[in-house]
Structure 1
Amino acid sequence: MTFNDNAQLDTSQVQSGGSGGGGMAPGGIAVGGIGGLILMIIMVLLNGFGGGSGSTGGAGPWNMNPAQVASGADTSGSGAGNDQISQQISQCKTGADANRDDVCRIIGTVNSTQAFWRNYLPQYGKQYTDAKTVIFSGSTQSGCGTASSAMGPFYCPLDNKVYIDAAFFQELSGKYGADDGNLAKEYVLAHEYGHHVQNILGLLGRSQQDPEGANSASVRTELQADCFAGIWVAHATETKDANGNTLLQPITEQDIQSALSAAAAVGDDRIQEKAQGRVTPESWTHGSAAARQKWFMTGYQSGDINKCDTFSPATVE
């Protein structure tokens, strides 16, 4: 979706992260990116959203397979790249900036997503609490351990922050095959904030009960985050900045197709086919391309959180 040029961006909802060393500590929990949230109890950082051998996780964003929990990690972000990202953030002022620059687009999307959930959740008796997005380059420290570009975007429930490498959107189309449309990029962040909403609602931990399989709790958790992303899209053009200016222009059919291209690109079947030349549903953690598209559209077409119950159906396809 395209931002209105005069919309004002709120940079206080993001922060910069640097490049750091270290790794995820064993026994942890992180929530992977769009390919994202899989809470695991052991350490394995099977690559972010991308492929790997044998299972869905692999090196690459969007599939941070079961992640890990690293308690006591430094969440401030430090090291090379911090000053550069901070400077980029400081230059993001308006919707026009968000339309020309990916870092500014991240900020605008975070602003819109949070403005929506802030107004929407109280209708269901829940108060939304803001979650900052940490924009980094290379790697940085999170409450769940080291966030790296190889993992892709993810949500960490231990510090209630979303992490994304500033260069991720270049991989989204080049490596994962999504188109380079605006909503393909914005969907990534909306999915991560879907995990934050799940955390608020007490649903996030369900993925640990059944971590793999085409209809596993892990897959159902991911698909619900896709559905929540669709709900935001349905209402995104109603969101406003602090001055009352509408943040986004009306959605188009091309926007929807762009989001669907991203949802399909990170389907477990697509990732496995590319990575290992075969599809093994028993190891799925995020859902097929068709399921991801289906649940995104369920959220978008209904605009209703009650329609996002991915846990009750016998199958999620």
Structure 2
Amino acid sequence: MSFNDNIRLDSSRVRDSRGGGGVGRGGGIAIGGGAGLLVLLLSIFAPGLAEDLGLTGGTQTQRQQPSGPQAIDECQTGADANERIDCRILATVESGDAFWKPYLAQYQVQWREPGVELFAGRVNTACGAATSDVGPFYCPGDESMYYDTEFFDVLESRFGASGGPLAEEYVVAHEYGHHIQNIVGYLQYSQQGGTGPTSGAVRVELQADCYAGMWAGHAATTTDPESGETFLQEVTETDLRDALSAAAAVGDDRIQQASTGRVMPEAFTHGTSEQRMKWFMHGYQTTDINQCNTLDHPNLDQP
């Protein structure tokens, strides 16, 4: 899903700490095979499993950091967002701002804008220090979303996501969904029930997928206040396939099968590939937050 070229971006909306030297754990992302990638994906999608398998340790190695020419302050327009992933993250966040603030106002929810930081290697947050191994994440302590742009290459090259703009925007919108859960009081339910297919963690993650679908359903009608144009062009079938491919790629069952050779439902923390696709589409089709109530839904397989 492409941004309209003439929308205006505010680069000050995002903190960019990619220029400082960082440290990656476990040898970073091992493109040619095994341990670094496994730690990365288990840390994102099944942290308890990563600890059980003894994979969260490892040596510390230096990673090459992006340099000045790719600074976020070069992101000025929708055309930039269509060319660069960091600009696309910025544009997706600004689109999320423009959608969620007025949407929640109708429910008398007091709005708090989330922070956003791009990092490489390592970042300090109110939730503690984190490395690129954890992938994109939301920290409720400072109400901020954190993105290492290299994650999107890993998702595509190693776990079969098809790529495409809406696939990347889905990831950003999912983390934004966690901020929405935080300010309306739902994020706390992620701590209930430990792990497993009906745990609070799974329910909260599927709800964030549904919220991401809501954003996508409204994105082509959400207007940039500076240019007066809608942020995004109409969603195509190809766009939806890309987003669903990304959602499927991060299902617990697919991650576990690829990394350990078996599926362990008792360790689920995010839901199956099928569930993640269904709840994203449910949000996209209904565009109604009341339809995203996964917290007490009797059958997560059928939104």
TM-score where L is the length of structure 1: 0.81
Q: Report the Cα distance in structure 2 between the residues aligned to 1:270 and 1:105, rounded to whole angstroms.
A: 27
Residues 171 and 208 (structure 1 numbering): CA distance in 2 closer, same or farther, change over 3 Å?
same
What SS class does the counterpart of residue 279 from structure 1 fall into?
coil
2:119 is aligned with 1:136:
yes
Q: Report the Cα distance in structure 2 between the residues aligned to 1:152 and 1:86, rounded to whole angstroms.
A: 24
What does residue range 278-297 of structure 1 map to in structure 2 within 5 Å? 278-297=262-281
What's the offset of the Cα at 1:189? 0.5
Q: Report the Cα distance in structure 1 between the residues aligned to 2:146 and 2:45, rounded to whole angstroms.
A: 13
Match of residue 155, structure 1, among 99, 117, 138: 138
What's the offset of the Cα at 1:113? 1.1
What's the offset of the Cα at 1:58? 3.9
Residues 22 and 280 (structure 1 numbering): CA distance in 2 closer, same or farther, change over 3 Å?
closer
Q: Give the aligned partner of residue 6 of structure 2.
A: 6
What SS class does the counterpart of residue 15 from structure 2 fall into?
strand
What SS class does the counterpart of residue 6 from structure 1 fall into?
coil
2:258 is aligned with 1:274:
yes
Q: Give the aligned partner of residue 243 of structure 2.
A: 259
Residues 86 and 128 (structure 1 numbering): CA distance in 2 closer, same or farther, change over 3 Å?
farther
What does residue range 95-106 of structure 1 map to in structure 2 within 5 Å? 95-106=78-89
What SS class does the counterpart of residue 162 from structure 1 fall into?
strand
Kept in 2, the 8 Å contact 1:3–1:249? The answer is: yes
Match of residue 172, structure 2, among 178, 183, 189: 189
What's the offset of the Cα at 1:125? 1.5
Q: Give the aligned partner of residue 242 of structure 1.
A: 225
Match of residue 215, structure 2, among 221, 225, 232: 232
Q: Which amino acid is the alignment partner of residue 208 of structure 1?
A: Q
Q: Report the Cα distance in structure 2 between the residues aligned to 1:176 and 1:163, rounded to whole angstroms.
A: 21
Residues 83 and 183 (structure 1 numbering): CA distance in 2 closer, same or farther, change over 3 Å?
closer
Kept in 2, the 8 Å contact 1:19–1:138? The answer is: yes
Q: Report the Cα distance in structure 2 between the residues aligned to 1:116 and 1:9, rounded to whole angstroms.
A: 15
Q: Which amino acid is the alignment partner of residue 99 of structure 1?
A: N
Q: Report the Cα distance in structure 1 between the residues aligned to 2:247 and 2:270, rounded to whole angstroms.
A: 11
Kept in 2, the 8 Å contact 1:210–1:218? The answer is: yes
Q: Give the aligned partner of residue 112 of structure 1.
A: 95
What SS class does the counterpart of residue 146 from structure 2 fall into?
strand
TM-score where L is the length of structure 2: 0.85
Residues 233 and 124 (structure 1 numbering): CA distance in 2 closer, same or farther, change over 3 Å?
same
Residues 291 and 88 (structure 1 numbering): CA distance in 2 closer, same or farther, change over 3 Å?
same
Q: Report the Cα distance in structure 2 between the residues aligned to 1:85 and 1:64, rounded to whole angstroms.
A: 35
What's the offset of the Cα at 1:83? 8.0
Kept in 1, the 8 Å contact 2:116–2:146? The answer is: yes
The CA RMSD measured in Å over matched residues stands at 2.5
2:71 is aligned with 1:65:
no
Equivalent pairs, count: 276
Kept in 2, the 8 Å contact 1:14–1:107? The answer is: yes
Residues 241 and 169 (structure 1 numbering): CA distance in 2 closer, same or farther, change over 3 Å?
same
What's the offset of the Cα at 1:22? 9.8
Kept in 2, the 8 Å contact 1:16–1:86? The answer is: no
Q: Which moved more, 1:237-246 or 1:202-211?
A: 237-246
What SS class does the counterpart of residue 257 from structure 1 fall into?
helix
Q: Report the Cα distance in structure 2 between the residues aligned to 1:58 and 1:227, rounded to whole angstroms.
A: 27
Cα deviation, 1:154-201, whole Å, max 9, x if unaligned, reads 000000110011222111201221111110000001000000000001
Q: Give the aligned partner of residue 127 of structure 1.
A: 110
What's the offset of the Cα at 1:90? 1.1
Q: Report the Cα distance in structure 2 between the residues aligned to 1:64 and 1:231, rounded to whole angstroms.
A: 25
What SS class does the counterpart of residue 210 from structure 1 fall into?
coil
Residues 166 and 124 (structure 1 numbering): CA distance in 2 closer, same or farther, change over 3 Å?
same
Q: Report the Cα distance in structure 1 between the residues aligned to 2:81 and 2:24, rounded to whole angstroms.
A: 32
Residues 21 and 115 (structure 1 numbering): CA distance in 2 closer, same or farther, change over 3 Å?
same
Residues 197 and 11 (structure 1 numbering): CA distance in 2 closer, same or farther, change over 3 Å?
same
Cα deviation, 1:116-172, whole Å, max 9, x if unaligned, reads 101111111213211121001111111111221111000000001100112221112
What SS class does the counterpart of residue 232 from structure 2 fall into?
coil
Q: Which amino acid is the alignment partner of residue 289 of structure 1?
A: S
Q: Which moved more, 1:139-148 or 1:84-93?
A: 84-93
Structure 1, unmatched stretches of 5+, are 24-46, 67-78
Q: Which moved more, 1:220-229 or 1:167-176?
A: 167-176
Match of residue 309, structure 1, among 286, 293, 296: 293
Q: Report the Cα distance in structure 2 between the residues aligned to 1:173 and 1:158, rounded to whole angstroms.
A: 30
Kept in 2, the 8 Å contact 1:234–1:301? The answer is: yes
Q: Report the Cα distance in structure 1 between the residues aligned to 2:100 and 2:82, rounded to whole angstroms.
A: 22
What SS class does the counterpart of residue 152 from structure 2 fall into?
helix
Q: Give the aligned partner of residue 59 of structure 2.
A: none
Higher helix proportion, which one? Answer: 2
Q: Which amino acid is the alignment partner of residue 242 of structure 2?
A: S
